[in-house]
Chain A
Amino acid sequence: MRRVRPAAVLMVAVPLLLALVGPWLVPAEQARTAPFLPDGLLGTDFVGRDTWYQVLDGGRSVVLVALAATALAYAVGVPWGVTAATARLRIVDEVLMRPLDLLLAVPSLLLLIVLATVAGPGVAVLVGIVALIAFPDVARIARAAALEIGGRPALEAMRMQGESWWRTSVVYMGRSMARPLAADAGVRLTSSLYLVASASFLGVGVPPDAADWAVMVDRNRTGLFLQPWAVVVPAVLIIALSVGLNLLFDRALRKEPR
């Protein structure tokens, strides 16, 4: 077993801490001055707000949306996949899983752009869309895991003991799936983070002056040569968070016995 590198922990901890605690450190009343001035800790942003406060305020949406979307994808995808895997009729399996193949033929960013335009802006919408994009993969993984577990003699032995559906399909299967799903959750979380950041950058789902790291990167880009912090700091935070998460989960995964 390898030691978790402190660098990776730091890369995750700093953005996460800023994202979760940051909003409480922002004063309710903020002075507004001209854009891209060197005032304050990190200067001002493209509408003259204090960049440091924007940084404190702007992580929550990225992090929470990614977390909520991942959670939602699991809440829907896992029962979906398990239902398909345990369905007695093959047609149920087909009806549940085939449409997901269709989703795969639509590029996720196209889906994201069109759906976001249909649904209009809003955090809930963004969560829903990112979850929708993540959910087919979750359902497939859950189905594959459930199929594997459902074919295990241990489960059949339980059925031979007359165990109830609840104990076999929920308790036993749930516990057995926890590990593969937990391993997958890391991948899913980083890709949700990626999608949320990309969406925000594209101006999908968030107001254009939102306190949001990805939006900050986009909107403050024009001032890159005047006041680079307004771009650099949020960009570095996003990159650190996703790289750090990736490193941590990669390490955690490697500890799994082959």
Chain B
Amino acid sequence: MNAITRRGFLGLSAGLSAAAVAGCGSGPTGAATTPKAGGRLRAAFAGGGAKEVLDPHLANLFVEAARSKALFDKLADLGPDVAAQPRLAERWEPNADLTRWRITLRQAVFHDGRPVRAADVLSSYARILDPARGFRAKSSLSVIDLANSRAVDDRTVEFALTRPFVEFPNVLAAFGAYIVPEGAEDFSRPVGSGPFAFVSFEPGKSVLLKRNPDYWEGAAHLDELQFVIANEESARVNALLGGQVDYAHDLTPTTARAHASGDRMTVVRSPNSAVQAFAMKLDRAPFDNRDLREAMFLLADRPQLVESTLAGAGQVGNDLYGKGYQYYADDIPQRVRDLDKAKHLIRKAGAEGMTIRLNTSTAAAGMVEAATIFADQAKGSGLTIEVVTGNKDTYWADILKDGVMSSFRSGAMPIETHIAQRLLSTSGTNVTKWARPGFDALYEKAVSTADATARAAVYGDMQRMLHAEGGYLMWGFADWIVGTATTVGGVSTAPANTLDWARFDKVWLG
């Protein structure tokens, strides 16, 4: 019962990379190819027990994200290439210096029949930005100068920003930045504008939703959608095989392999998904030494890590975030293992005979295994890697402060967001302690460059810096795997955290 050990936090720790592989767009899969209306789909997710909430701004877990998506809308959301695309916002236009953005809202209504207005947008954002509360989207939205933003009319909002920011649509698509009716505080019977409306909720057990016939993008195929909680992967698989659910989220590659060829379930893979990495801290010995960091990069046998840890269900990484995402620098040559050079660099760094502690934990699946394998790979290099397993519940907070090297995993987000949250000297979750004034300046330049090509070039420079001497050893990208009953159609292969992942209004029961 690994309920305690394998509760994946969503959002950032387990997102999915977009389609890097050919044909890995958001094309629907499934045995039943013709959409059919009606029925109740039961979807099994890992949950958070009694702490689960329906407040979309508090969403943290996959199941909460999926439910928020069914009940609410954001102004924008991430497409298959993890670039923002409009949702409730019909379109957006910045002013010339990128500091004021005019958003035009779509004609949409909440489940109680009230229209979605500019005031709802402003009050939702005000709620998220409330300094007394710790909503997840707060740091993303902090670029908005709310006092100077205004509702032009009921369907037009004008946002004032604190600085020029060309990636503002990323903010609108930020995790948890949902639009709720003005003044909404009690989410025990949530009202949103999403494709499904609330019916009932039993914390830690199930949520039942029904089709919203007036959804602005067209009503869903399903009559009803039920989210049920099964923390263990085996339980989700068993429930799927036993016909107790129709959709089982987050399966292991092994399960996929075991059942891919059978006729008891359909396996849906979103290839190239969560990034798998080791994070080295640059502000302290021994990884303040660039040679030693490079030695670590060269020690990693990435194909073996992918093969063993991800059971082959993934792609080799090149120490850069966001493979296949917009702005990803795929022109940088792939790094491969070079033990001799690594040994040489270790000697050069004076690290021979040194023992390095690699912090890891079961906070995310596969991290400990990857750490052990990496420690094996380091044997014979002149230094020893000692794997230290820490407390899973506080792991992410612990590695922010302590240790020199740690296991790391992250879900999908735009590359810009990744940089802003983790790689600037001001970032709140800067695990590698990468703090370079030059890099910060490049970021400022990128986000204030309106020209897309010029901007891409700046992002390319930044990624070259990171590849050469950064702290993240990003060795692979995992597939995201979902199992469905053979009667289910329309399940997308888009990465988790993006729009089409767990998008049940496009799914049907055959």
- Asked if A46 and B373 make an inter-chain contact with CB atoms under 8 angstroms apart, the answer reads no
A201 / chain B contacts, CB cutoff of 8 Å: 1
Distance in angstroms between the alpha carbons of A211 and B38 in the assembled complex: 49
Pick from B26-34, B163-171, B386-394 the stretch touching chain A: B386-394
Looking at B1, B311, B368, B391, which has the most chain A CB atoms within 10 Å of its CB? Answer: B311
B309 / chain A contacts, CB cutoff of 8 Å: 47
B153 at the interface (CB under 8 A from A): no
- Asked if A223 and B258 make an inter-chain contact with CB atoms under 8 angstroms apart, the answer reads yes
Distance in angstroms between the alpha carbons of A46 and B368 in the assembled complex: 13
B257 at the interface (CB under 8 A from A): yes
B2 at the interface (CB under 8 A from A): yes
A222 at the interface (CB under 8 A from B): yes
- Asked if A209 and B368 make an inter-chain contact with CB atoms under 8 angstroms apart, the answer reads yes
A40 / chain B contacts, CB cutoff of 8 Å: none
Given contacts A48-B307, A120-B391, A222-B234, contact A208 B258 (CB under 8 A): no
Given contacts A33-B307, A207-B368, contact A222 B312 (CB under 8 A): no
Smallest Cβ-Cβ distance to B380: which chain A residue:
A29
- Asked if A222 and B255 make an inter-chain contact with CB atoms under 8 angstroms apart, the answer reads yes
Distance in angstroms between the alpha carbons of A208 and B310 in the assembled complex: 15
Q: How far is the CB of B162 from chain A (nearest CB, A)?
A: 42
B4 at the interface (CB under 8 A from A): yes
Distance in angstroms between the alpha carbons of A214 and B4 in the assembled complex: 16
User: Interface code A114-137, partner B: CB below 8 Å = 1, 0 otherwise?
Assistant: 000100110000000000000000
Interface footprint category on B: 20 to 34
B484 at the interface (CB under 8 A from A): no
Q: How far is the CB of A197 from chain B (nearest CB, A)?
A: 13
- Asked if A46 and B254 make an inter-chain contact with CB atoms under 8 angstroms apart, the answer reads yes
- Asked if B233 and A222 make an inter-chain contact with CB atoms under 8 angstroms apart, the answer reads yes
B389 / chain A contacts, CB cutoff of 8 Å: 121, 207-208
Given contacts A117-B391, A203-B5, A222-B255, contact A32 B304 (CB under 8 A): yes
Complex interface residues of chain A between 169 and 221 (CB less than 8 A to chain B): 201-203, 207-209, 218, 221
B369 at the interface (CB under 8 A from A): yes
Smallest Cβ-Cβ distance to A30: which chain B residue:
B376
Partner of A47, one of B233, B237, B362, B373: B373
B369 / chain A contacts, CB cutoff of 8 Å: 46-47, 208-209
B4 / chain A contacts, CB cutoff of 8 Å: 113, 202-203
- Asked if A222 and B307 make an inter-chain contact with CB atoms under 8 angstroms apart, the answer reads no
A23 at the interface (CB under 8 A from B): no
Partner of B390, one of A34, A113, A120, A208: A120
Q: How far is the CB of A171 from chain B (nearest CB, A)?
A: 46
- Asked if B376 and A223 make an inter-chain contact with CB atoms under 8 angstroms apart, the answer reads no
Distance in angstroms between the alpha carbons of A70 and B390 in the assembled complex: 27
Q: How far is the CB of B164 from chain A (nearest CB, A)?
A: 46
B148 at the interface (CB under 8 A from A): no
Complex interface residues of chain B between 347 and 388 (CB less than 8 A to chain A): 362, 368-369, 372-373, 376, 387
B308 at the interface (CB under 8 A from A): yes
A203 / chain B contacts, CB cutoff of 8 Å: 2, 4-5, 362
A226 at the interface (CB under 8 A from B): yes
- Asked if A34 and B312 make an inter-chain contact with CB atoms under 8 angstroms apart, the answer reads yes
A35 at the interface (CB under 8 A from B): yes
28 contacts between A and B (CB under 8 A): A32-B376, A33-B308, A34-B307, A34-B311, A34-B312, A35-B253, A35-B254, A35-B308, A36-B254, A36-B311, A46-B254, A46-B369, A47-B308, A47-B373, A48-B307, A113-B4, A117-B391, A120-B390, A202-B4, A203-B5, A207-B368, A209-B368, A218-B2, A222-B233, A222-B237, A224-B258, A226-B257, A226-B258
Known contacts A48-B308, A202-B2, A207-B368; 8 additional CB pairs below 8 A are A32-B304, A34-B307, A36-B257, A46-B311, A47-B369, A207-B387, A209-B368, A222-B254
What residues make up the interface of A, taking CB atoms closer than 8 Å to B? 32-36, 46-48, 113, 117, 120-121, 201-203, 207-209, 218, 221-226
What residues make up the interface of B, taking CB atoms closer than 8 Å to A? 1-2, 4-5, 233-234, 237, 252-255, 257-259, 304, 307-309, 311-312, 362, 368-369, 372-373, 376, 387, 389-391, 393
